[in-house]
Amino acid sequence: MTTSVLYDAPGPRTRRRTLVGSVLAGLLVVAVLAVVGSRLDEKGQFSAEKWDPLVNPSSDTFDQVWNLLGGALVNTLVAAALAMAFSLVIGTLLAVLRITASRWYRWLVVGFIELFRGVPVVISIFFAARVLPTLGVDLDNLWFLVIGLTVYNSVIIAEIVRAGVNSLPTGQREAAESLGLRRAQVLGLVLLPQAFRAMLPALISQLVVVLKDTSLGFIISYEETVRTAGIIIQNLGNPIQVYLVVAALFIAVNYGVSRLAVYVERRLSRGKKAAATLSATDPAGAGAGGGG
């Protein structure tokens, strides 16, 4: 680990001091948790009445609550997967356009990307849901959410892909061109496949962002996890508990996706020479599909 460079291998005195520091820091953490816990307990936040519907399978409402939460989680994952798929396609197209565009219309592509990079994603969702219907577009809320997320994320993915293509050694392009490949072939056959390999971890990390952003669907009453949590709270009156569960769900899913990104990154950097065998076993593709 590079961090150990910051300090010497500790001697007996430092070790003692570290131990004291550890104990003190540990005590502080425990003390903070204890204060928070006791304050919550004072307000009755640990009462069975508030927790049972979430954790006790024999509670009357346990099944209903988890049915709702399960359906909502599926809705969240569906929206995220669709948005990610569309963003990948559109983002790649944008990147290709930006790379290959002749000067007279490149500013248009660049302008488009810069414009949507600067707009908050919650506004692009709101925009999709409020403005598109006035133009005669009749869709489910799911699709408005997907459109809003796609608009925002495709420009980000376009930038990731462009960075990936630019990071390749120029020899790759030159070799391809010297073979007489056309510009589209150079990109499609030589540059993009390599760029995607380099960018896969970044793309998977972007999936975490998309997953979190689906929670903004509450603003257009798409029934994803956070919105459904609101409905459960209205019935049971236990906001703190329900939100803790929702937070745990999100952390679990996103932590899994992040670990996958790290795994893919390791795998790719290890297998640089054995690239051919790697694409044959296809661990990343299958894994990413499961994560979304």
Partner 1 sequence: MNVILDNFSLYRDGFLQTLKICALAAVGALVLGTVVAGFRVSPVPPLRWVGTAWVTVFRNCPLTVVLFFCAFGLPEIGVNGAYFWFGVTGLVLYTSAFVCEAVRAGVNSVPAGQAEAARAVGLTFGQSLTSVVLPQALRTVVPPLGSVIIAMIKNSAIVGAFGVGGDLFAVGDTLTSARGEAALPVLTGVVLGYLAITIPGGLLLGLLERKVAIAR
Partner 2 sequence: MRLRRLMFGTAAAALACTVAACGGGKDTGSSNPPVNTSATFDAGTTMAKLKDAGKIRIGTKFDQPLFGLKGLDNKPTGFDVEIAKLVAAKLGVGADKIEWVETQSKVREEYIEQGKVDLIVATYTINDKRKERISFAGPYYEAGQDLMVKKDNSAITGPESLKAANARVCSVTGSTPAETIKKYVDPANVVLFDVYSKCADALKNNQVDVVTTDNVILLGLVDKSAGAFKLVGKPFTTEPYGIGIKKGDTKFCQFIDDTLKAAAGDGSYEKAWQDTAGKVAPDAPKLPDLDTCS
Specify the amino acid at residue 20.
V
Identify the residue whose tokens are 């936040």. 45
Which residue in 207, 206, 211, 213 sits closest to 120, CA to CA? 213
Site string for partner 1, 13-52 (x = CB under 8 A): -x---x--xx--xx--x-----xx--xx--x-x-------
Q: Which of 120, 133, 188, 256 binds partner 2 (CB under 8 A)?
A: 133
Nearest CB to partner 1, comparing residues 10 and 70: 10
# binding residues, partner 1 (CB under 8 A): 52
Q: Extract the tokens encoding 156.
A: 């980000």
Which residue in 256, 145, 269 sits closest to 207, CA to CA? 256
Contact (CB, 8 A) for 259 and 291: no
Helix (H), strand (E) at residue 211: helix 192-213
Query: Using CB under 8 A, which of the segments 136-144, 167-175, 254-262, 264-272 binds partner 2?
Result: 136-144
Q: Which of 45, 209, 230, 254 binds partner 2 (CB under 8 A)?
A: 230
C-alpha 60/C-alpha 243 separation (Å) is 20
Q: Which does 3 bind (CB under 5 to 8 A by kind): partner 2, partner 1, none?
A: partner 1
Q: Which does 122 bind (CB under 5 to 8 A by kind): partner 1, partner 2, none?
A: partner 1
C-alpha 278/C-alpha 284 separation (Å) is 9
Contact (CB, 8 A) for 79 and 85: no
Q: Does 115 bind partner 1 (CB under 8 A)?
A: yes
Site string for partner 2, 204-223 (x = CB under 8 A): --------------xx-x--
C-alpha 43: how far from its chain's center? 35
Residues 168 to 197 in contact with partner 2, rule: CB under 8 A = 196
**CA dist 28 → 21, 31, 36, 38 (Å):** 10, 5, 12, 15
C-alpha 236/C-alpha 232 separation (Å) is 6
- Residues engaged in binding partner 1 (CB under 8 A): 2-3, 5-8, 10, 14, 18, 21-22, 25-26, 29, 35-36, 39-40, 43, 45, 114-115, 117-123, 126-127, 130-131, 134, 208, 212-213, 215-216, 218-219, 226, 239-240, 243, 246-247, 250-251, 254-255, 258
List contacts with partner 2 (CB under 8 A). Answer: 61, 64-65, 67-68, 71, 74-75, 77-78, 81-82, 84-85, 88-89, 130, 133-134, 138, 140, 142, 196, 218-219, 221, 230-237, 239, 279, 282, 284-286, 288-289, 292
